[in-house]
Structure 1
């Protein structure tokens, strides 16, 4: 289209391209390198902030958990060592650990547990004074969603995540085995028990007594008293037992504190040399007593290891890991160069009551019995009833009073002898009849010819 007359043709604005023309190629500026590195730096800083924030607030034991450790008493070296093991593990894991001492008082323990709950601890590790008395406190912690772990001693109720302890039943049995072998499988033994109601006292006692009943029936438990895991009480209780028991061959205590007190009492009475002492825990004083020959043996626990494992298991649980309900801690026996006591030969005395020695038949019977007794190394006491039932009854009574091991009778009369046989039965003396029988009483065996044949 032609421009109108009187108008002027204007040039396109600078930078525009007239229609139909190809725009010229422009030279592109190079990318600014400094700006690229700036964005990289920003990204790195952002990542670092996220990582640091995660490390600061993630649920881990490193400087983030606060735990409570409630101990039954710190007046016992065993629990002092347990506390130290827990404190070392807590410091290593960055855990704040609050330790409270119940002083062997269930009421104080309940107050301590309530305080830990009020402080909002993340977990509670408890060594109960009493397995029943601790239950309400554990239940309160459960209601507050605070996980509970028991150490060394268990609880009879409440929800407990894990129990960290030695196998006290096995430890009691090991103590029983050592003591039984040391006194030759027979004799009189005393048991000093721990605090009634504690799982440690219950389990150690069960292990010890089960072994003695099943494997060491020649031993008689002549006294069984509690000394509350306390050395001073062990001394006092054992002083009284020494006065009441003229013969004691061995003593087992549920912990070392009690056995050390018992040793002191026996030494003061001049009777320590006749008694084999066995303890439980292997605290430093007990190990020293073993080395000195005053204590025969002690069952070694690892209280420091219990404390360490308690903290580590609690941290794992709080970190969301699965933990076992029972965490066993190894036991071992600590003993010196202690030579087991060889059993002394038991003197066996047999009583032989004959109807008469005025008959060559019974003289020959006596001679055969005497020859057999000599060959067996046993003592034979022969009495002659002279065919008199009253004298026979007197003879049997004399044999019972002498404490013979066995009575062999050739009765003068089958009916008249019955009361004498029954007296021997009551005294726990086995009775055998020879040649002639009896009409009553308990007879182990009847040795005779077949007179019917």
Structure 2
């Protein structure tokens, strides 16, 4: 959550410095680099008291919760507050409720909680909230409003797990058969959503998904369940959490039938060993340390009087397979043995999204002692981006970190670069060339979230039908095409008419003209697929004076936040471009140092930002 954006002055300076074609901006000590302003999700003041915060997870044993606590304790130490890990030693509603009651009785001022189920703990949390205690959710929420929630987009991650299993089965020539599912229980919000997403992946296939069995997250119980599935001839088994996954892998190992595809969730030493030994295909690795850190930060900021409005943040997930168990999201230390030359080529050098991505890259480059040159064009143009790639190769750069303007146009240039030994890493948007790693938002899932937010706002206003406009960049950019697909999927089965998409090339002025045309046609909502599209949409609604039109967008900038706070946009899906830049540099260095990253794809998360 500690994200900074360059002040408008530095953006203007960057724009003025850009020239037609590729700019090459090497890290330098400058006034622009230090002219920073806190974003709307800035860090809490260091002038805080020693707040007492209780951390209550589902249990205190699973490595997932241990890692979450480690992140929380690191943040607590940094902020000078006390976080007490008060979790039960087993998943049990009564024990978790007792932990909440003990926190209230012990005078704790905030509770960070991963609810075992949405209902059982709700009464205790409501009493705590009524007593003035701040509630923050991590991993799994309950049915009580909280300050903020930090969790994985579990349904989307479950679908990813299903798609990974389907791909492996088809690669093995298996197109039908029984699939077993080992879940925790029928109540835990996170694992129920994972199962729903997993089942969704198999819709329309010839596979038979068997009745779910519940092992309470216990590895031994889950192994027994998985062994029973194996006796029934399953071709695949999905474990919905750490214990379920460990049990599934152990059952496949005990059976000796490595033809069964095991896919799981969460990361532990036991799961990593089962993957590397060939008994599990992969696992969906969450970022529990990030949940813990951000949970503590949100609790402190809430105690300082800041209002979040129930902000929900997706903390991301990575698919970990054999060969990339030290995943590209930076789970190991990175050391550079020389000052590697790395080119960073984004779609343009002007949008705040790319400026922030470059900030993250430069910060990591400085930490590692390598050189990252920002060589992006000053406008979204395929020819200019190809020229940037060619210039990087000619300039002797050893790695290229790139956000492809489209998957096809730049591919030939990237393929030539790779053939000369240049390492390729994608950020935000990939091309059709294999890369060392990719760091991006799960754009389809985030697009669906944008659609859900619009629908919720329209229905709250009593509007259940009407025209919806969509302003996209173009028909080729992978990231925005997926956002649109996700947005459209949210409206399936609804009474709204989604109009034909119009393209503004990410330019705010062109996008405003498109949105104004939509408004003349009587739309009730407009979706902008990137920063320029969103800014243009908000400006069009502002100019029209029709604040009942629901505008939803993507990306974060000062202009977008002003439009939200002034009531001309409902919300925006804020990515984490600084994380993309930072992790992109780390992955590039690791690849240059000889590590095999296996093409790992990491979801860097998204937040729904609304009016303060």
TM-score range, shorter chain: 0.5 to 0.7
Correspondence 1:200-239 to 2 at 5 A: 200-214=190-204, 217-239=205-227
Per-residue displacement from partner, 1:328-347 (whole Å, max 9, x unpaired)? Answer: 10111111269xxxxxxxxx
Is the contact between residue 67 and residue 125 of structure 1 (CA under 8 Å) also seen in structure 2? yes
Is the contact between residue 59 and residue 318 of structure 1 (CA under 8 Å) also seen in structure 2? no
The runs of 5 or more residues in structure 2 that have no matched partner are 1-43, 325-612
Q: When the two structures are superposed, what TM-score results if normalisation uses the length of structure 2?
A: 0.43
Distance in 2, matches of 1:317 and 1:222, equals 44
Is the contact between residue 61 and residue 319 of structure 1 (CA under 8 Å) also seen in structure 2? no
Q: When the two structures are superposed, what TM-score results if normalisation uses the length of structure 1?
A: 0.58
Per-residue displacement from partner, 1:139-158 (whole Å, max 9, x unpaired)? Answer: 11111011111110111x22
Is the partner of 1:287 in helix, strand or coil?
helix
Structure-2 change in CA distance of 1:336 and 1:146 (3 Å) = same
Correspondence 1:21-40 to 2 at 5 A: none
Cross-structure match for 2:504: none
CA positional deviation for 1:76: 0.9
CA positional deviation for 1:248: 1.6
Distance in 1, matches of 2:166 and 2:138, equals 30
Is 1:132 aligned to 2:122, yes or no?
Answer: no
Is 1:196 aligned to 2:181, yes or no?
Answer: no
CA positional deviation for 1:61: 6.3
Correspondence 1:236-275 to 2 at 5 A: 236-243=224-231, 245=232, 247-271=233-257, 273-275=258-260
Cross-structure match for 2:556: none
Is the contact between residue 179 and residue 209 of structure 2 (CA under 8 Å) also seen in structure 1? yes
Correspondence 1:255-404 to 2 at 5 A: 255-271=241-257, 273-323=258-308, 325-336=311-322
2:82 to 88, 93, 96: 96
Cross-structure match for 1:399: none
Distance in 2, matches of 1:119 and 1:149, equals 18
Is the contact between residue 255 and residue 281 of structure 1 (CA under 8 Å) also seen in structure 2? yes
Higher alpha-carbon deviation: 136-145 or 257-266: 257-266
The runs of 5 or more residues in structure 1 that have no matched partner are 1-57, 339-453
Structure-2 change in CA distance of 1:61 and 1:290 (3 Å) = farther
Structure-2 change in CA distance of 1:61 and 1:83 (3 Å) = farther
1:148 to 129, 135, 143: 135
Runs of 4+ that moved beyond 3 A: 58-63
Structure-2 change in CA distance of 1:61 and 1:137 (3 Å) = farther
Is the partner of 1:213 in helix, strand or coil?
coil
Q: How many residues align?
A: 275
Is the partner of 1:190 in helix, strand or coil?
strand
Distance in 2, matches of 1:209 and 1:257, equals 20
Is the contact between residue 154 and residue 163 of structure 1 (CA under 8 Å) also seen in structure 2? yes
Higher alpha-carbon deviation: 135-144 or 257-266: 257-266
CA positional deviation for 1:159: 2.4
Per-residue displacement from partner, 1:183-237 (whole Å, max 9, x unpaired)? Answer: 11433211111222110121101111112115xx121113421112211111111
2:58 to 72, 80, 90: 72
Root-mean-square deviation (CA), in Å?
2.0
Distance in 2, matches of 1:313 and 1:251, equals 37
Is the partner of 2:202 in helix, strand or coil?
helix
Is the contact between residue 151 and residue 314 of structure 2 (CA under 8 Å) also seen in structure 1? yes
Per-residue displacement from partner, 1:57-86 (whole Å, max 9, x unpaired)? Answer: x98663421111112101211111111111
2:176 to 175, 186, 196: 186
